[in-house]
Amino acid sequence: MNKSKRIDEGNIASIILREISGLADGQIRFMEVCGTHTVSIFRSGIRSLLPEGIELISGPGCPVCVTPVGEIDRAIALAQLKDVTLLTFGDLMSVPGTSSSLNQERAMGRDIRVITSPLDSLEIALKEKKRRIVFFAVGFETTSPAIAAAVKEAKRKRIDNLFLLSSQRLIPPAIRALLSPRKVKIDGFILPGHVSVIIGRTPYSFIASEFSLMGVITGFEALDILKGIYMLLCQKKEGRSEIEIQYTRAVKEEGNQLALKAMEEVFEPVGARWRGLGMILESGLTLREEFKEMDASLVFDIPYEDKKDPPGCICGKILQGLKSPPDCPLFDKRCTPENPVGPCMVSSEGSCAAFRKYGAFR
């Protein structure tokens, strides 16, 4: 970025902040429901720039963080089978299970590999036909279309040694679960841009229609987030409760229909457990009947066992917006990025990791 552009953005940010200050009136809390937003807010120091009374809290926007201990344990158990190669994304490697992690298992000789794209699993399965390849797939609606494409291609190519352990989650049901008990005061939502590129605006409409709250689908640059906060405050001042799109350069009202069609062809909604939130109806994705031969949870006899978070870890409460990272007695003491106790300190999008790295901006 050249110097003149930085000056222009600084001037625009100052103007938006003045407008925000003019609208700020009393205590108000906005929740960002995206790990990328959480990191961007910390990195740019937005919290420290906002007028007193406007509070930003982090929600369940990190797919690695919301994956419960029981699912990590099941993936580890699969990796321990003699003829299994387990594939997953990098952030999951250090997430602690009950007594181990994928990184620790790999150090002991288990065949566990990090991939960067779901399509990598096809190539590995074709090259290593004598092994059973299990893809431990974690993610929100952003990654599900690519996972669906990989499943469809595996079936088309008749790859019979590739299996999917699905730990995918859907954001709108989680927001509903957060709001239903009204445990935490939330006045509005900074809604996720990447997820909304896929699903569009409509799936969030219940936030306004059922709970009379506001939401703005926001981009990830500092100016995007500031503009989103400004739009939320405008709604409050005008007494409106609507779902608006700030991130218009990427998000369409109807979302990405091709991506949604691919997801619908391969997956169907199912109840799923979320760390901190428990079981949420129709918040996960499971393979449809015509793809069940690839479902690792059915092919392998390893049942799911519900497990508690490590003693002292409050990651579940942080994901609900009930607590912040410094409230945890383990934060930056026994729990660090080098030696994490909970997933919120592991993932690059985790609240604890972001707070520790950028907390000095407060």
Q: What residue segments make up the domains of the chain, in order of their start?
A: 50-185+248-362
Better pLDDT: 160 or 349: 160
| Confidence label for 26 from pLDDT (cuts 50, 70 and 90) | confident
Return all residues near 312 (Cβ < 8 A) that are at least 6 apart: 328, 329, 330, 334, 341
Report whether 356 contacts 345 (CB < 8 A): yes
Average pLDDT, the chain: 93
What pLDDT was estimated at residue 2?
59
Amino acid identity at 67: T
User: 76-82 long-range CB contacts below 8 Å, 24 or more apart?
Assistant: 76/100, 76/101, 76/102, 76/105, 77/302, 78/134, 78/136, 78/165, 78/296, 78/300, 78/302, 79/105, 79/106, 79/110, 79/111, 79/112, 79/134, 80/105, 80/110, 81/132, 81/300
Backbone angles phi, psi at 165, to 5 degrees: -100, 100
- Using DSSP, how many helices (H) and how many strands (E) does the chain show? 16, 11
- Weakest-pLDDT range from 78-92, 106-120, 306-320: 306-320
What pLDDT was estimated at residue 4?
55
Note the helical H segments in 101-221: 102-107, 120-127, 144-156, 171-179, 193-199, 205-209
Amino acid identity at 317: K
Residue 278, pLDDT above cutoff 70: yes
Residue 144, pLDDT above cutoff 50: yes
The DSSP result for 89-130, as a single string, is -GGGGG---SS--HHHHHHTT--EEE-SSTTHHHHHHHH-TT
Amino acid identity at 137: A
| Cα separation, 159 vs 38, whole angstroms | 39
| Cα separation, 136 vs 121, whole angstroms | 10
Coil/strand/helix, residue 86: strand
What pLDDT was estimated at residue 162?
98
* Nearest Cα to Cα of residue 169 among 140, 204, 147: 140
| Cα separation, 50 vs 338, whole angstroms | 32
| Cα separation, 275 vs 127, whole angstroms | 36
Provide, rounded to the nearest whole percent, the portion of the chain with pLDDT above 70.
97
Return all residues near 257 (Cβ < 8 A) that are at least 6 apart: none
What does the pLDDT average to over 231-255? 97
What pLDDT was estimated at residue 308?
86
What pLDDT was estimated at residue 301?
86
Q: Which residues pair with 135 in a beta bridge?
A: 87, 164
pLDDT tens-digit map of 63-79: 999 999 999 999 999 99
From start to end of the chain, where are the E strands?
28-32, 54-58, 84-88, 112-114, 132-139, 162-168, 188-191, 214-217, 243-245, 267-274, 278-287
Amino acid identity at 13: A
Q: What's the CATH number of domain 50-185+248-362, 1.25.40.10, 3.30.70.360, 2.60.40.10, 3.40.50.11740?
A: 3.40.50.11740
What pLDDT was estimated at residue 362?
43
Return all residues near 307 (Cβ < 8 A) that are at least 6 apart: 68, 69, 70, 73, 97, 98
Report whether 195 contacts 62 (CB < 8 A): no
pLDDT tens-digit map of 172-209: 999 999 998 878 899 999 999 999 999 999 999 999 99
pLDDT tens-digit map of 32-42: 999 999 999 99
Report whether 217 contacts 201 (CB < 8 A): yes
Residue 1, pLDDT above cutoff 90: no
| Cα separation, 135 vs 112, whole angstroms | 10
What does the pLDDT average to over 37-51? 92
pLDDT tens-digit map of 282-305: 999 999 999 999 999 999 988 888
- Report angle CA 85, 90, 95 to the nearest 5 degrees: 90
What does the pLDDT average to over 166-177? 96
